[in-house]
Amino acid sequence: MKKILTGAFVLLLLLAGYDLLSEETFKVTGLEEGLFTVKSSKVLNPTFRTVRVNAEAAEIRGREDAVIDIEDIQVGDKVKVTFSRLVALADPPIVKSTKVVLLK
């Protein structure tokens, strides 16, 4: 019994370490005029669990590092977002971004 508990604890520590050290990406869950809603891939300590991103003034890059338009982002896409500042305290919060990269 002691070995099972020790093994479970070690597995939990490994999973927590992986989540804390992995790069944070976001999945697009909603689209609005000039805004898109994203959900974090991290379980432990995300920057935002869910946030609405104002990317009108952001540099938006596609898969081959080409500049794309905000309309090219679709629900279900995986993106990496560089946040600049909080714009509105809403639910979910609205933030401005300086760079959005569309991932595979």
Domain assignment of residue 9, yes or no? no
Overall domain count for the chain:
1
Question: Is 53 inside any structural domain?
Answer: yes
Over the stretch 25-55, which tens digit does the pLDDT of each residue have? 999 999 988 889 999 999 888 888 999 999 8
What CATH number does the domain containing 51 carry? 2.40.50
Domain that holds residue 34: 24-102
pTM of the model: 0.80
pLDDT digits over 48-74, tens only? 899 999 988 889 998 788 898 888 899
Does any domain span residue 91?
A: yes
Neighbours of 37 (CB within 10 A): 18
Whether residue 88 is contained in a domain is answered as yes
| Inside any domain, residue 16 | no
How many angstroms separate the CA atoms of 47 and 84, rounded?
Answer: 12
Name the 3-class secondary structure at 88: strand
Instruction: Say if 5 falls within a structural domain.
Output: no
